[in-house]
Structure 1
């Protein structure tokens, strides 16, 4: 994919670094959830398409049921993202230094955090970069077949996240605004749209048949985290990738350089995307794939800026090294989790799971024998459910009403005792509930589970009656 001698070693180093640290800390709460979903393969789930959970299942089948195994695919995907970013830089005229800088963008704190754990964001980064690469080829080279490849990548990306549609929408509006507008009438482009629809059809059918569950999920996220997401959207744009001036240079270059006039829609797509993400109260990182594409374009003027200027080369090199080191240290398990858990929420969500399960098990051990026979576990969120499923050997079956896990219930009606892990008193269950323990971790890391308690509940209604009321999206 690339002729530069810098690119392949950098991409290999990205993957090797992630593989070497993959066993650090514990599962992320989302990984515990993906592990459970992977035990129930299907074309889609209420909160996401099937790619990431099934990729985790494949890794478990190959490497074993452990945290290291689940993270190997993510390490490979980020290495591939580095290669595609370098290819974008090459398409817009980048030489060896530019291509190397583009690949090194993968070593930022946010890309590394997303790839240290199994996450949909990591695979989505590769999908977006792939689409951008083929769109750049299609526009700059006036290559019709490149639209077919863009469609193929889009269709495959729909199995990971529907978010790639946001990229296409913003690009389409941008082409309409700043051109080249005639490409919107190209049969090649519309053939690419057809390829995307055909390849992604099973996942799209799942959404239609199940009444578009991901729209409900998006609405729930907007209601629960909307204000926080909107407040963080602009500030976090400057933290998504190392050396923000480079992606800013990419925007400026697209607007001013006549040689890149045919792809300046990429620059216009970014503010449109910011506006749309703000309106829908999406997560601030939703823009990361497009930002990385702009970064891969911005390395070209950066390469010209430092060429022949020793001081500028030193300044740029120092900035890249320092920000890369910052990203590595704050994203990967190289120091105790408590060191950067307050800065990086991804770390906080990897702490304490074995201890929490042990604390639930201690409460279960106090139950009389007859209660143990009638007991099930019920949790408020999928992280708790996933941890109990992974580490709770000897404990009863675990259930939860959150997202897809609601479909795996209800428990049998003869299970009238519930060990409940909840952040608030479980009033929805009715009956008599008594708090027996509060979750805590020895690392002293403040995460969501420190708000949870373990309750013993004796139900007044059967699960079959309760279950419809217990479904929730978060």
Structure 2
């Protein structure tokens, strides 16, 4: 298939401006990367990275592999782990800036897009700490950029790039299927449909299939546990997710950027030269509808807003340029307030003791980065309550993967043994050997009528954890008890396992 409009007709890439933005981004993120501590998910990723596999019950392998690589190169500290998150955030800014160029955006529009991307609350959060979304937002942006290049030029070879990014996306988070379906519907409805009539499409699908095959086969061999986890999220949180979906679309990037991405939704329908980009404008509402039906979390669709910001940058700048000084001053003041809110909610810029209240209500993730070494110390104190003669056969049973990951990370320095947990993939890394018939140090509590409560019995509270900063997180106030096991671990473990 021949190329349409040549890339040479596009404005030059604003490399210097984008470079300055990502350089500042790197410095700020690096300086703040060790301010609090590991997030509970990060502790889980580090633990999973020590046990490399083609999959885990709640995620594909890319993020744990990245955690393993980053800690191996830069140290098993929050700062060392988060180097990879910072690099992913920087790459995202560059790719979204390239998307702005794809729409004909000049130096000003590209700079605006780079700054808006780097300072958006969502990007700040996933660039500060390593999450599955850290890679996901970059991969969605790469798919969008490659797909838009394909639609604009008509050069079918871009299907190879789309397929490679989609295959890597499947190895990180299967939500990429929503993006692909949304863009597919957009092309089918608005075109240009000629990009579907080429053998390069089959080649792209083949690349995606090859890259995703090991992950899909692992899930199939384990009865697709990721679908079980997703079903639980929908069942437990689906109603709340649907209720909050629209409001959260307005705040996850920044309220100041809402007019920009709305301008991006409208622009292809107003400018004949951008007819080829209408598929992107259709994809976003399609993905939103899919998530509302599935009960998915509101932030799942946010990566698709970044290309829309890039699309809306040019008309918004034109609007500001035509306005009076008062309009520009008021717009700048509103934007500054929104940036301040994004920074305060997305980055650890306040003391941990100041998190309670509004900040945690807006974003609870900073609270989950506080107090893990102290938590391990509380566990060590409770472990010392076990008679020395019984410790060789005793077991630490953590209620969730964050607790288990913290004990695994900090416990050896406190003389603690390997912890076990029936939560998520930690369940696959157990059970404890049947020879461990001594006391069970249980972290947390089971529901009174649950099967687990009949297997772990005679519990006697021996400690309650509180973090020194007084942060209201999931572990503050957790009870630690010494209990007894009624059946061998090998038979009890399947009934103890839980995914939520």
Short-chain TM bin? over 0.9
The count of residues paired between Structure 1 and Structure 2 equals: 474
Say whether the 8 Å CA contact 1:2–1:83 is kept in structure 2.
no
1:72 corresponds to 2:83: yes
Question: Where in structure 2 are the equivalents of 1:110-125 lying within 5 Å?
Answer: 110-125=122-137
TM-score (norm 2): 0.91
Mean CA deviation greater in 54-63 or 427-436: 427-436
SS in 1 for 2:361: coil
**Cα distance in structure 2, aligned partners of 1:2 and 1:21:** 30
Secondary structure of residue in 2 paired with 1:302: helix
Deviations 1:429-452 (A, max 9, x none): 333211222221122211112352
Q: Distance in 2 between matches of 1:207 and 1:78?
A: 28
In structure 2, the partner of 1:274 is: 288
Cα distance in structure 1, aligned partners of 2:68 and 2:16: 35
Corresponding residue number in structure 1 for 2:485: 459
Match of 1:8 in 2: 19
Residue equivalent to 2:301: 287
Which aligned pairs between 1:323-342 and structure 2 lie closer than 5 A?
A: 323-337=338-352, 338-339=354-355, 340-342=359-361
Structure 2 CA distance for partners of 1:216 and 1:159, relative to 1, 3 Å? same
Q: What secondary structure is seen at the aligned counterpart in 1 of 2:157?
A: helix
Secondary structure, aligned partner of 1:144: coil
| 1:273-296 Cα shifts (integer Å, max 9, x gaps) | 111111111111111111111111
> Could you say what secondary structure the match of 2:467 adopts?
coil
| SS of residue in 2 equivalent to 1:282 | coil
Q: Cα deviation per residue 1:13-59 (whole Å; 9 max; x = unaligned)?
A: 11221111111101100001001101101111111111111111111
The Cα of 1:248 is off from its aligned counterpart by 0.8
The worse-fitting range, judged by mean Cα deviation, of 276-285 and 324-333 is 324-333
Aligned to 1:422: 444
Match of 1:344 among 343, 363, 381: 363
Task: Give, in whole Å, the separation in 2 of the partners of 1:2 and 1:223.
Answer: 46
TM-score calculated relative to the size of structure 1: 0.96
C-alpha distance in structure 1 between counterparts of 2:221 and 2:192, whole Å = 37
Q: Is 2:13–2:107's contact at 8 Å kept on the other side of the alignment?
A: no
Q: Is the 8 A contact 1:255 1:261 kept in 2?
A: yes
Instruction: After superposing the two structures, state which structure 1 stretch, 11-20 or 49-58, moved more.
Output: 11-20
Q: Is 2:416 the counterpart of 1:395? A: yes
Q: Match of 2:189, SS?
A: helix
Q: Which residue is 2:107 aligned to?
A: 96
Give the equivalent residue in structure 1 for 2:152: 140
The 10-residue stretch of structure 1 (88-97 or 180-189) with the greater mean CA deviation from structure 2 = 180-189
Q: CA RMSD in A?
A: 1.7
Gaps of 5+ in 2: 1-11
What is the rounded CA distance, in whole Å, between the counterparts of 1:386 and 1:86 in structure 2?
37
Decide whether the 8 Å contact of 1:420 with 1:455 is kept in 2: yes
Match of 2:461 among 416, 430, 435: 435
Q: Which deviates more, 6-15 or 132-141?
A: 6-15
CA contact (8 A) 2:121 2:342 kept: yes
How far the C-alpha of 1:4 sits from its partner, in A, is 4.8
Q: Does 1:156 align with 2:175?
A: no
Distance 1:3 1:291 in 2: 21
The whole-number CA distance in structure 2 between the counterparts of 1:18 and 1:366 is 41
Structure 1 unaligned spans of 5+: none
Structure 1, residues 381-418: CA drift from partner, whole Å, max 9, x if none? 10100111111121122011111111111101121221
Shift of 1:153: 1.2
Which one of the candidate residues 152, 165, 190 is aligned to 1:178?
Answer: 190
TM-aligned CA deviation for residue 308 of structure 1: 5.2
- Measured in 1, the distance between the counterparts of 2:491 and 2:222 equals 22
Counterpart pick for 2:385 among 359, 366, 373 = 366
* CA contact 1:420–1:456 (8 Å) conserved in 2: yes
